[in-house]
Chain A
Amino acid sequence: MVQIQNVAFGYDAARPVLRDVNLSIDRGSVVGIMGQSGCGKTTLLRIIAAQYLPGSGTARVLGTATSGLDRDALYRMRRRMGMLFQFGALFTDMSVYENVAFPLREHTALPEDLIHDLVMLKLEAVGLRGAAQLMPAELSGGMARRVALARSIALDPRLILYDEPFTGLDPISFGVIVRLIRELNDSLGATSIIVTHDVQEALGVVDYVYFMAAGRVIAEGTPDEIRASREPFVRQFVNGELDGPVPFHYPAPDYAAELELAEG
């Protein structure tokens, strides 16, 4: 479904964000990509979504390489994908119903009553059928994200991408989203990729994990393998340790010297 081979990328030539990334994702699985902020995981997601092209190497998504596509081919590919943005990215001037109906109206010529049924179906799947007439401003963060999820599955995508779906949610909404990701993946027969740094919760829902640091994949495996890993960075990350490969202190000159105690 998704194959990343030797991909390197940088927003500007001087600072590479990704260096030689390799990963492979099978159909039907829920895969997590984890790491610290700034390790390049969101960039990798964008490359999978073909928003950016790899500087070198190939990214194959849904069977085609992202590099050679023209606009129409790109849009055809995107119609088979769904993406959930970090804060939902709902269209603020439309109601919940209109938001979910948007991809249906833009890409299909279905009559209004059929669209109505489909929208209700999707909203029911995320539990928000009753909120159909609300405006995004009236929704809580968790609800907004669920509506965005309903919107991203409106066209029954084969691949669903999640950009930090758990950020800033209360425990209840959290649990809801976690369950929805798994349920939707299985019921749609789709593949899901989750970019997150919520380790414990993600490990509970994914089938496979890729760990990234400094633009590279440094560890991978099933959740059990990861939990049992001896790799220092993974251990620090999974256990939330204060100090390890990722140092606690930002590089600074000698402390005593700074305090001018080493005087005289």
Chain B
Amino acid sequence: MSLAQIREHARGRLERLGNAVTSHVWRLGFASRFLFYTVLHSGTALRRFRLTVAEIYFAGVLSLIIIMVSGLFVGMVLALQGYDTLQRFGASESLGVLVALSLVRELGPVVAGLLFASRAGSAITAEIGLMKATEQISAMEMMAVDPIARVVAPRFWGGVISMPLLAALFSALGIFGGYLVGVQLIGVDAGAFWSQMQAAVDLRNDILNGVIKSVVFGVAVTWIAVFEGYDAAPTAEGVSRATTRTVVTSSLAILALDFVLTALMFTGGKPA
């Protein structure tokens, strides 16, 4: 290739990169306005709480099985792996501490968030996207009913309410799983398991921070899910792409936010 051709090629690539970045930034702005509008018009969702309750069912209750079973298994694996390492330092009695802190601080909110994104988030996106594709959203607009207040807001609040509860359930069952494996199976002392855990896990620093994380994740995942659904192209392919985007973007958002929140909450503190 001649130098001129290479230059053309490179410029084309750069232009496309620039376009991609600007279009993403624009989309983020659009999504933010959408969120703002949704929250502002949440009156219907809160006044007619029936609607939101139905959405809590679809987002939360239907995710119960996967969250609880996963939590149990994660806790059990934590205990197995943790014991193996801890007993090399003669610290096997701290197993409870390991399991509890890992779950409450990190794994509970993050893994429950990822599972929620793939199960409930994609379902919400698909549902809203299909409503758009079959003109149900247009029909609602034509009947002078604001579809964002009637369809989007209840799903948003349903997700935000469900997420912290699911994360707590995940952590609780994980700790129980850790207890099952650690105490019942391996033989760590039950008293040491619970007492060391209680001494090491702080209500404000650990548990509250974990709850805050799960609330933040809930808002992020549900926001992405309703936005992608509402913005989907009204075709089968459009909906499919939107659900994929929901899962991918939510997962990345959870992990990135987790880093930011962990850095803010758990490191540093007041210097000595």
Given a CB threshold of 8 Å, the question of whether A touches B is answered with yes
Q: Which residues of A contact B (CB under 8 A)?
A: 49, 51, 71, 74-76, 78-79, 81-83, 85-87, 89-92, 102-103, 106-107, 148, 151
**B4 interface hit (Cβ, 8 Å):** no
A232–B143 Cα distance when bound, in Å, is: 40
Which A-chain residue is minimally distant from B44 (CB atoms)? A106
B235 within 8 A of A: no
With a cutoff of 8 Å between Cβ atoms, the chain B residues found around residue A49 in the complex are 142
Contact yes or no, B136 A78, CB < 8 A = no
A255 to chain B, nearest CB (A): 35
Q: Which residue of A lies closest to B150 (CB)?
A: A106
Distance, CA A78 to CA B130, complexed state (A) = 24
Question: Is B212 interfacial (CB-CB < 8 Å)?
Answer: no
Contact of A102 among B138, B143, B146 (CB under 8 A): B143
Q: Does B85 contact A (CB under 8 A)?
A: no
Q: Which chain B residues (149-197) contact chain A, with CB distance < 8 Å? A: 150
Indicate the size class of the contact surface on chain B: 10 to 19
Q: Is the CB of B135 within 8 A of A86?
A: yes
Q: Answer yes or no: B62 CB below 8 A from chain A CBs.
A: no
Complex Cα spacing A102 to B150, Å: 11
Cβ < 8 Å to A, chain B residues 92-144? 130-131, 134-136, 138-139, 141-144
Q: How far does the Cβ of A137 sit from chain B's closest Cβ, in whole Å?
A: 12
Nearest Cβ in chain B — how far from A237, in angstroms? Answer: 27
- Tell whether A83 pairs with B134 under 8 Å between CB atoms, given A75-B144, A76-B144: no
Residues of A within 8 A of B144 (CB): 74-76, 78-79, 106-107
Complex: A85 Cα to B145 Cα, angstroms: 16
Q: A75-B144, A78-B143, A106-B143 are in contact. Are A51 and B134 (CB under 8 A)?
A: no
Contact B134 A78 (CB under 8 A): no
Are B135 and A89 in contact, with the CB atoms below 8 A?
yes
